[in-house]
Chain A
Amino acid sequence: MTITRHLPRFGLRGLQRFNNVSGYTVLMVLSALFMIPLYWMFSTALKSPQQTFAIPPEWVPAPAQWDNFAKVFDEVPFGRFYLNTFFLVFANIAGHLVSVTLVAYGFARLRFPGRNVLFLVMLSTLMIPYQVTLVPRFIMFSKLGMINSYWPLILPAFTGSPFLIFLVRQYMMSIPFDLDEAAYIDGASRFAVFWRIILPLARPALMLVVVFTFIDVWNDFLQPLIYLNDPDMFTVSLGLSFFQGARETNWNLLMAGSVLAMVPPLILFFFAQKQLIGGISVEGLKG
Chain B
Amino acid sequence: MSALARRLPRAWTQLSPSERREALAGYLFISPWIIGFIVFFLGPILASFALSFTRWNIVGTPQWVGLDNYERIFTQDPFFRKAVTVTLKYAAFYLPLEVIFGILIAVVLNQKLRGIGVFRTMYYMPYIVPKVASSLVWVWVLNPRYGLLNTMLGWLGVNGPSWLSDPDWVLPSIIMMSLWGVGGSAVIYLAGLQNIPNQLYEAASVDGANRLQKFVRITLPMLSPTIFFQLVLGLIGTFQTFTPAFIAAGRSGGPLQSGLFYMLYIYNRSFESMRMGYGSALAWILTVFIMIITLLVFRSSKYWVYYEAERKRTK
Interface residues of A (CB under 8 A from B): 4, 19-20, 23-24, 26-27, 30-31, 34-38, 40-41, 44, 52-57, 98-99, 102-103, 105-107, 110-113, 115-116, 118, 121-122, 125, 127-129, 131-140, 142, 156, 158-160, 162, 165, 177-178, 180-181, 190, 194, 215, 218-219, 221-222, 225-226, 236-238, 240-241, 244, 251, 254-255, 257-259, 261-262, 265-266, 269, 273, 277, 280-281, 283-285, 287
Contacts and interface: CB of A to CB of B under 8 A. Distances in A.
B140 interface: yes
21 contacts: A31-B119, A35-B122, A36-B148, A37-B180, A98-B32, A99-B33, A111-B6, A111-B22, A131-B286, A132-B45, A136-B44, A159-B33, A159-B36, A190-B22, A222-B243, A241-B246, A244-B136, A251-B140, A251-B143, A255-B137, A283-B188
Given A105-B29, A160-B33, A265 B148 contact: no
Top-9 shortest CB links A-B: A159-B36, A106-B29, A281-B191, A177-B3, A112-B26, A287-B229, A112-B23, A110-B26, A136-B44
A258 B243 contact: no
A136 B283 CA distance: 11
B174 interface: no
A23 B113 contact: yes
The interface centre, meaning the residue of A110, A140, A259 with most chain B CB atoms within 10 A of its CB, is A110
B200 interface: no
A75 to B, nearest CB: 15
Given A115-B8, A138-B271, A284-B191, 8 more contacts: A40-B140, A106-B27, A133-B45, A135-B280, A177-B3, A237-B133, A261-B132, A277-B191
Contacts of A98: 32
A178 B30 contact: no
Contacts of A265: 128-130
Interface stretch (B79-87, B165-173, B287-295): B287-295
Contact of A262 (B26, B130, B229, B286): B130
Interface in B254-298: 263, 266-267, 270-271, 276, 279-280, 283-284, 286-287, 290-291, 294
Contacts of B30: 102-103, 106-107, 118
Contacts of A257: 133
Contact of A110 (B25, B116, B123, B226): B25
B121 interface: yes
Interface stretch (B64-72, B213-221, B234-242): B234-242
A118 B290 CA distance: 23
Interface of B: 3-4, 6, 8-12, 15, 19, 22-30, 32-37, 39-41, 43-45, 47-48, 51, 58, 105, 108, 111, 113, 116, 119-126, 128-134, 136-141, 143, 145-146, 148, 151, 180, 183, 187-188, 190-192, 195, 206, 225-226, 229-230, 232-233, 236, 239-240, 242-243, 246-247, 263, 266-267, 270-271, 276, 279-280, 283-284, 286-287, 290-291, 294
A140 B44 contact: yes
Contacts of A165: 33
Contacts of A194: 29
Contact of B267 (A122, A140, A222, A251): A222
A135 B33 contact: no
A134 B41 CA distance: 10
Interface of B is mostly: helix
A125 B33 CA distance: 12
A103 B27 CA distance: 9
A56 B9 CA distance: 73
B142 to A, nearest CB: 10
Contacts of A106: 25-30
Contact of B37 (A125, A190, A237): A125
B48 A132 contact: yes
B32 A102 contact: yes
Nearest to B5: A177
A140 B124 CA distance: 38
A43 to B, nearest CB: 10
Given A41-B137, A111-B6, A255-B140, A273 B121 contact: yes
B123 A137 contact: no
B58 A139 contact: yes
Contacts of B143: 251
A131 B287 contact: yes
Contact of A241 (B123, B132, B206): B132
A215 B283 CA distance: 26
A148 to B, nearest CB: 13
B130 A280 contact: no
A112 B33 contact: no
A27 B191 contact: no
B293 to A, nearest CB: 11
